[in-house]
Structure 1
């Protein structure tokens, strides 16, 4: 089925969305997120969305499944980012320059030095980063990206550049792995320019970049799959999706791709 696009206003969002985003006419508030949800409102286990940033997002962290359930949530939130566009000098904050204990992390969040403690990674279109639960992170300004995440609404803000929003220092420090980021969990666009690639395989989800439906079926079997076109068109049954849209299929068996298609495909678990 074709998922429904939901535009979400954010103060750090943008008014100059690309044409493919299909932003409703006359909308003047900055749009920060474009979420895809089931037409009947059913909660799917993964959430796909686009982010559009004109400012840095807060420094934040998410719990893992065990930590989330201990707090009365259905689970935790691991996520991943695929960069669609990035302004010159755009960066993502992922991990820290050095390991901090919980007390040091709280102090850095309170006095603002966490900005200097963060590792800010330059990014380019085609870069991919897996952000396991517990990773301290912040999306920088001037970026458009696809985010694939566990569909659990839990975010602990550690620092927000003086904005008047609540912080969650106790929970955030408790669930953080305040260490440098493992760059083995990233895939850089310049790594051979390969279009067919496994981006992440972990117990939470598998994400592939693909352009051949048969290859995709061979790798994912009959599992439900989310299809996000990066170029061209994806088709299944009577539904189709182009850039800026998303399909959810009970299995990839019926998937067809146009000759120019490049897609992200996501499924639960490691395949």
Structure 2
């Protein structure tokens, strides 16, 4: 094996900013890039090798070709040819939606997919930038439903002012959101399943 490089998968979003292109030294005129998927085995969004003799092969091709040599014996025994991680950069010029992701059990039942546990590493943050993770107080299912319906769910979410180098672990099932001014490296399970709870009335 040789050191592999992958082509980034750039995602333009309503809330995307202008930090990813210069951060990665890319030659691109794209605006509003909210995400750059660095390593992805998500179906229809697979990473492609950018260098060396395997240039042009997808990540799935590489796992099938190199098996344990690429991902290790324990991981290959557990996940087979499915690469288990999705690694991306997220640049939030605006707040992302309030959202939650399914557990392995629920994702398997509803979508025949992995769940989506995540980890955030704060690469950079504007002054006062915040992340939301979990509830700030205990609420009942009835109150939760009412707050979703009347757009006040953010009033009971725990907020954290962030700084470069901060790390957050977000188990599947935890309500969360990335706030405006955040530049995040996200490592998560291979899944693109998101249940949006509140999107600040954006169209």
Q: TM-score, normalised by structure 2?
A: 0.76
Unaligned runs of 5+ in 1: 165-271
Q: How much has 1:4 moved relative to structure 2?
A: 2.1
Residue 83 (1) aligns with residue 85 (2): no
Conserved 8 A contact 1:91-1:121: yes
Q: Hey, what does 1:127 align to over in structure 2?
A: 166
Candidates 114, 126, 141, aligned match of 1:102: 141
Question: Which of the numbers 157, 171, 179 marks the counterpart of 1:140?
Answer: 179
Report the counterpart of residue 63 of structure 2 in structure 1: none
What is the alpha-carbon distance in structure 2 between the residues aligned to residue 26 and residue 72 of structure 1? 35
| Structure with greater strand percent | 1
How far is the alpha carbon of 1:102 from its aligned partner? Answer: 2.4
Match of 2:94 in 1: 55
Q: Which residue among 2, 25, 28 is the counterpart of 1:22? A: 25
CA RMSD of aligned residues (A): 1.5
Q: Work out whether residues 77 and 152 of structure 1, in 8 Å CA contact, stay in contact via their aligned partners in 2.
A: yes
**Contact 1:7 1:23 (C-alpha < 8 Å) held by counterparts:** no
Provide the C-alpha distance between the structure 2 equivalents of 1:97 and 1:80, rounded to a whole number of angstroms: 20
Of structures 1 and 2, the one with the larger relative CO (CA 8 A, separation 6+) is: 2
The range that moved more, 18-27 or 79-88, is 18-27
Q: Is the 8 A contact 2:19 2:91 kept in 1?
A: no
State the TM-score, normalizing by the size of structure 1.
0.57
1:103 shift after superposition:
2.4
Residue 32, structure 1, aligned to residue 34, structure 2: yes
Alignment equivalent of 1:4, drawn from 4, 7, 15:
7
The answer for the alignment partner of 2:66 in structure 1 is none
Where do 5+ consecutive residues of structure 2 fail to align? 40-46, 49-56, 61-81
Measure how far apart 1:153 and its partner are.
1.5
Q: Structure 1 runs of 4+ off > 4 angstroms?
A: none
| CA distance 1:154–1:17, change in 2 (3 Å) | closer
Contact 1:110 1:159 in 2 (8 A): no
